[in-house]
Structure 1
Amino acid sequence: MSPTVLLVEDDRELRHTLSDALTVEGYHVHASASLADARALLAHAAAEGGLDLVLLDLGLPDGDGEHLLTQLRRERTTPVIVISARHGDDPKVRLLDAGADDYLVKPFSLAELLARMRVAMRHRGRQLRPSVVRYDHEGLEVDLEARQVRRDGDVVHLTPTEYALLARLVRSAGQVVTHRQLLADVWGPEFTEHTHYLRLYMGQLRAKLETDPAEPRLLLTDPGVGYRLVEAAE
C-alpha cells in the first residue's frame, strides 16, 4: 500500500507542485490549504486507516499550523515535518520541542524533502526505499517525472488510469504487486475486490506496450497473486 501523506500548504502553486511530485514518488497525497480542511482530512484519514506522515506549513489563512501540530501530538504519533519560510532558531526549536520530527525552511529541494520524509518514517518503524521513476527495458521507456511513455522511441498515449497502473508497476519494477495493492493504489481502497478492472486495464496496457500482447515479456502475471513489470537490465 502506498504511504499516505497529508500536505497542509496554502500556497496554491507549491501545494500542487509538491502534490504532483509526491504522487510520482509513490505517495498517496491528501492536500489542504487551511487548518479547517486539514482537520477534516485528518478525521477522514483516521476512518480510512490513518496517515503515514504530515507536511505542515505554519502561516495558514485560518490560523497557525502550530495549533494543528499540538492537536496531532495529543491524539497520535504520526511523524510531522514542518515546511516554513520562517528562519531563525527560535521557531525551529519551539516547533521541535512541541513534537515536530523535522523543520525544513523554504525553499528546499525535493530530494532533501524526500530524504527527510524517509528518515521520519524510518524512526516510526517504516522502511522506505527511493522509488523508481525511470524505466528503460526492451524498447519500453517510462519517465514518471516527465509523465512520458515511449515504445521503440515512439510516444505512447495512455489513459489516466492506464498511466496510473503502469506507474505503480514501474515504482515496484521487478517485484510482484498484489491485486489488492494495485486496486487500492490506483482505484482506491473501496475497489480491492474489483479484480475485473485489473484484467481489463492490463489487457489494454499490453496491447499498447507489448510486441505480442498474447505472449507478454514485460507485464507479467503471477497467477492468483498479482502482476509484475520485468526488472530493467542494469
Structure 2
Amino acid sequence: MSSRKVTVMVVDDDVRILRMMKRMLELEGFQVLIANSGDAALRAFEKDTPELVLLDIMMPDMDGYAVCQRIREFSQVPIIMVTARGDDRAKVEGLDIGADDYVTKPFSASELAARVRALLRRITNQSVTLQPVFHYKALVVDFSSRRVLVNNFELKLTSTEYKLLSYLCRNVGRVLTPDQLLYNVWGEEYIGTPHLLQVNIARLRKKLGDDARKPDYILTRPGIGYIMSTDLIDPNVYDGQNASALTGYR
C-alpha cells in the first residue's frame, strides 16, 4: 500500500481557523497547504496542485464563491465549501457555481476528515458514470439503449423522466440543486420553476418504486437539492422524511 499523502489546500482569512484545520487534517494523515486569501489560493495553484480544496465562503476582497468560479475556469479539483450552520442559501449557491460538497461549522476533526475522504472516494469512483451502464441495487440504466430496469423489469419512462434519471445517475453521489437539474434537463429558461422539478421527481420515484419518505435511489438533502444514492452515502444525512416538508425539495 502506498504511503503517499493526499494534498489538501485550506483557504480561510482567519489565521486561527487555518491553523486549527491544518492541524486537524495533518493528524488525519493529509498533507496540508494553507492560503489566507482568495488571491493567495489562486497563486498557490501556479506551483502546487492540491487534490482537494477546502474553501471558506466569507472572506474579504474575494469571497469563496468568486474563488470557486476562478478555480473552475482551469481545474476540476474537488472543492468543499465551508459554511455557517443553517446557511442553506450559501450551500445552494456554492453547489450551483461548481463546488462538490460543503461542511458546516462547527465540525470535529473526524467529521472533516470523513467528508474529505468521502469526496475523494466519490471522485475516484466517478468513472462509473462514464460507463455504458449504471447499476445500483435493483436499478439498471443502460445509457446506450436508453433502457431502464428495476428488478429486471423494464420501465416505461417519458423522455423527460429518462433525461432526469440519466443526469442524476451520471452525477451519482453529487448533490444537485434544483436549478442545476432544471438547467441541464429542461433548459435555462426553466430555472426558478421548482414545482416542475418536484412533479417529475415524484413521478420518477413512483415508477422506480422509491418511497419518498425512505428512498433507495433519489435522496433529498433538505433545503439543498437531490442526489442519486451510492454505497458511499450515509442515509442518515439525507432525510427524506424531513425534506418532504420543505417547499421546493420533495
Higher relative contact order (CA 8 A, sep 6+): 1
